[in-house]
Structure 1
Amino acid sequence: MGYHFRYLLFLTILTDVSGEEPSMIRIPGKPGIFKTSESLETSWEECVVKCRADINCSVVYKTSDIQCQYFLFGSISTIQQAAPKGDEIALKIQLSGNQCPISNPLVPGHTYYTQIIKSQFYKTTLSQDSLSNNIYNLTYSVSTCPDNTKLFQRGETTVVCIGLYFFEDPRCNNAMEASALCKAQNGTLTGPANADEYEYIQEISYSSVDTSNPDSFQYLIYWINGAGTNTKNDYTFEDPTHNGSTNYKWIGGAPIAKRTGYCLNNPNPLSFYIADNSCTDTVLSPNAVCWRGALCQVPPKIEIV
């Protein structure tokens, strides 16, 4: 399909947005169902460039050589494909690499464009209509995390909200109770999936000594995802989205156990790293070390726009 091509320009995306650089796919087509749009007095090329750089823009349509129709996130729900050399429309999506795909990237299956803006996850899903090969459907969603958690993207479309959850009574407790604490939030124990997550986890864990330490323990530790097996360095995980212990940073000599009954926790009292301890540990020496809670990943609230 030679009329499917990508218009590539390397522009800087605003710093409060994370994710891969978007691509604008230009195809023969015109707007179908939409709520609102803007009319811009500009050339078609400049209109495409503007949309690509604008975090709020999803689709643009060429109405003339000096005018375009500009659709913001959530404002257009269908696109109708036209005959070659007719109407022209451009859609913002993500593609791997910097080459135009050989075949139509819009079919088969779903195509996504995702971005994180001000701690919210915006996702546009583009799919071919089940009743007509000439119509594409666009759906939109915004994911928001609960208070005291932070949003992280894992993979193409997986989003998790990571935070510390604290035991109430008793305030120091074991790994089984930590798992139950996460499950009570519809989540699971988790661990770092990358360097950014690891840094965030250490930051909130260390700062909790000053903010969530009513019994004035010298060290606070949190249970994270990972329960020992009979094989050294092998663990079972509740959360499959962080690629096991690949991104765990161990204290020197750890993990030490190669049997069941040992669980992973962070941070180690003597260092900025992850260690293993008996899953039943709750306190070490009065007012020295407290297993204060759990590092959980919980689902975001998803709003369909």
Structure 2
Amino acid sequence: MSSLLWLLLYFLISTCQCTWSMLIVWGGDVEGVPEDFSGSWDECIDYCLVEESCVVIRQPASFGCQIFRYGSISTVQSTGNTKIGFKRKMATCSLAMSSPPFFGDSTVTETYQAVTIAYQYRITLSEDTYMFNLNYYVQCQNDSFVSLQGSKPVCISVRVFPNTSFCQNRASGLELCQGNGGMGMTGPYSMDEGKVVTDAALTQMASTVYEELFVGLIPL
């Protein structure tokens, strides 16, 4: 049985533009590496919604909740008497939607992106089993940010020459960008990426008296 018990949303209205939601269904065994959560089931739901690496939760019979993170879960049985929570990004939040957690699809892809971390995984329903596959994962350095160039995640860092050596050439810029694990210089992949790079540059330039900056690409 895979009927929806309830749908927990950030915005409790019939239709909205949502971010992450927890879809709670009946299921069975989970193959993966669980982490025991010490709080209640409701607290576990709230935690998974805001914790960037949590993708599935499970309510065992003996205690409150188990958490499964990206890359640590391979399958979930779709039949059983155990509450299973799938973390999904929903474009619409209609409470009348049926056949959760995929709503009629056989495969769904979820992408998470924050400032320094991004990952994407695919879930496929095959007979009575949900199968998880991690497409990519990237963790950027603290002085850089994640950007998706098409389907490829990259780490971009905006670096400013120190005030004492602000007047430099391209060769010096390349050397600056190759430092601290950098790969080299790059330009914006798209208009949206260019805006993010510009905003990052303006933030750095605000605390610099003389500015000449270069954009560095950090290898994954």
Q: 1:300 to 1:109 in 2, by over 3 A?
A: farther
Match of 1:69 among 65, 85, 95: 65
Q: CA deviation at 1:137?
A: 1.2
1:151 maps onto 2:145 in alignment: yes
Aligned twin of 1:295: 215
Question: Matches of 1:146 and 1:106 in 2, distance apart?
Answer: 39
2:183·2:219 contact (CA, 8 Å) conserved in 1?
no
Aligned twin of 1:250: none
Question: Matches of 1:156 and 1:29 in 2, distance apart?
Answer: 35
Q: CA deviation at 1:90?
A: 0.6
Query: What is the SS of the residue equivalent to 1:96?
Result: coil
Q: CA deviation at 1:23?
A: 0.8
Match of 2:169 among 134, 155, 172: 172
2:25·2:85 contact (CA, 8 Å) conserved in 1?
yes
Match of 2:90 among 91, 95, 99: 95
Q: 1:187 to 1:29 in 2, by over 3 A?
A: farther
Q: 1:4 to 1:206 in 2, by over 3 A?
A: same
Aligned twin of 2:55: 58
Q: 1:8 to 1:187 in 2, by over 3 A?
A: farther
Alignment of 1:138-287 (within 5 A): 138-139=133-134, 142-146=137-141, 149-154=143-148, 158-164=153-159, 171-173=168-170, 185=183, 188-190=186-188, 193=192, 197-205=197-205, 207=207, 209-210=209-210, 220-221=211-212
1:92·1:113 contact (CA, 8 Å) conserved in 2?
no
My pick for the range that moved more, 72-81 or 98-107, is 98-107
Q: 1:199 to 1:27 in 2, by over 3 A?
A: same
Percent identity at matched positions? 13
Letter in 2 for 1:171: Q
2:22·2:49 contact (CA, 8 Å) conserved in 1?
yes
Q: 1:198 to 1:31 in 2, by over 3 A?
A: farther
Q: 1:193 to 1:200 in 2, by over 3 A?
A: same
Aligned twin of 2:116: 120
Match of 1:36 among 12, 17, 34: 34
Query: What is the SS of the residue equivalent to 1:38?
Result: strand
Aligned twin of 1:111: 109
Letter in 1 for 2:200: Y
Q: CA deviation at 1:121?
A: 0.6
Q: 1:25 to 1:80 in 2, by over 3 A?
A: same
Match of 1:48 among 32, 40, 45: 45
Q: CA deviation at 1:114?
A: 1.2
Q: CA deviation at 1:39?
A: 5.3
TM-score (ref. length: structure 1): 0.48
Question: Matches of 1:156 and 1:68 in 2, distance apart?
Answer: 40
CA RMSD, Structure 1 to Structure 2 (Å): 4.5
Q: How many residues align?
A: 201
1:8 maps onto 2:5 in alignment: no
Question: Matches of 1:300 and 1:185 in 2, distance apart?
Answer: 6
Aligned twin of 1:265: none
Q: In the TM superposition, what whole-angstrom CA distance separates every residue of 1:194-250 from its partner, at most 9, and x where no partner exists?
A: 76543321233465555xxxxxxxxx555xxxxxxxxxxxxxxxxxxxxxxxxxxxx
Question: Matches of 2:137 and 2:54 in 1, distance apart?
Answer: 15
Q: 1:209 to 1:75 in 2, by over 3 A?
A: same
2:39·2:65 contact (CA, 8 Å) conserved in 1?
no
Q: In the TM superposition, what whole-angstrom CA distance separates every residue of 1:8-65 from its partner, at most 9, and x where no partner exists?
A: 2438xxxxxxxx73111223323432223215463x455434432444533221224x
